Amino acid sequence: MTPVLAVDFDETITTLDTVARLPKLAAEYLPRAEAAGRGRSWEQGVSSYVAQWRETFEAVLASPPDGPTAADRVDAFSRRFSDIENGSLTAIEDRSLLHGIPRAALTRCGTGIPKRDGADETLAEARRRGFDVHIISANWSADMLRGAVGDVGDIHSNDLEFDAEGLTTGRFLRRMVSARDKGVCLRGVADGRGRVVYVGDGMNDLAALLEADIGIVIGRKPDMQRVCEALGIPTYAMAEAGRVSAGESLLRVDCWDEIAQCLFERERVGVEPTADG
């Protein structure tokens, strides 16, 4: 059976979140005075989003959702952020902050995105060895992602809407907004395939991480660690991989070399998750 390698994009493949590149790119196609106004509007939107998000995050962690499985608890957790995520997208649309970008500029922008060491090589090697490779991302531009990862795999993400002239209209095609969306997407691409590995770095990856046979968290974001603790999701360093159980616990790595080892030298590393947890 064909194995699946599905990965998040921002801060999993890349070194930094790339979404702020989009309003900057839009500003390049505006008169300078108008660009400055949109820049201020973007900054205000970001501050308001971050404040609302942090307030909700602390409130949810103070009284974390209950539920019989880790996936149930993650689902309840992620639903608490749904209004904030959708509201921030609507605010960006209302202010036309991403209007007027040519498609080719988005692809070009993607080619310049700095990536974690070993990410490109591991994805290419996985594909060479017969894995189905998928990028599952809440990023806003499939063209930017395509520019960044080339044709290494299928891209599942939100996107920007284009007009007949090939310029962005400023509106989103909302396909991958929540953690739940990523989990549902992974279930779809895993259907009829073999072992499924998902790699992500953040909270919106949790549903997909739990859906996979092997969920791998890259990096050590303090918020992610707090959520895993609050929702009762054990994470084990790759060295302790023998203890991982599909659907209930996750593996933790610091770099793509460890992921390559897990994928390509599995017998040596000893990752043997059980299907029933």
Q: Which residues bind Mg ion (CB under 5 A)?
A: 8, 10-12, 201-202
* Shortest distance (Å) from residue 192 CB to Mg ion: 27
Give the residue with the Cβ less far from Mg ion, 19 or 30. 19
Q: Give the side-chain half-sphere CA count within 13 A for 65.
A: 18
Whether the CB-CB separation of 193 and 211 falls below 8 Å is answered with: no
Nearest distance in Å: CB 205, Mg ion: 6
Comparing CB distances to Mg ion, the nearer of 137 and 168 is: 137
| Crossing angle for the helix pair 142-149 and 103-111, to the nearest 10 degrees | 40
Q: How far is the CB of 136 from Mg ion (least distance, A)?
A: 10
Distance of alpha carbon 80 from alpha carbon 76, whole angstroms:
7
Q: Closest approach of Cβ 17 to Mg ion, in Å?
A: 7
Q: Is the dihedral of CA 80, 14, 166, 169 positive or negative?
A: positive
Q: How far is the CB of 66 from Mg ion (least distance, A)?
A: 26
Complex with Mg ion: residue 8 or 143, whichever CB lies closer: 8
Q: Which is nearer to Mg ion, 100 or 147 (CB)?
A: 147
Task: Return the number of the residue (9 or 42) whose C-beta is nearest Mg ion.
Answer: 9
Between residues 3 and 202, which has the closer beta carbon with respect to Mg ion?
Answer: 202
Q: Convert 54-91 into a string of H (helix), E (strand) and C (coil).
A: HHHHHHHHHCCCCCCCHHHHHHHHHHCCHHHHHHHHHH
35: phi then psi, degrees, rounded to nearest 5:
-60, -40
State which residue, 153 or 202, has the beta carbon closest to Mg ion.
202
Neighbours of 168 (CB within 10 A): 27
Beta strand segments in the chain, E: 4-7, 99-102, 132-137, 154-157, 159-162, 167-173, 196-200, 214-218, 235-237, 250-253
Q: Least CB distance from residue 200 to Mg ion, whole Å?
A: 6
CB of 167 to Mg ion, least distance (A): 28
Residue 218 CA to chain centroid, in angstroms?
11
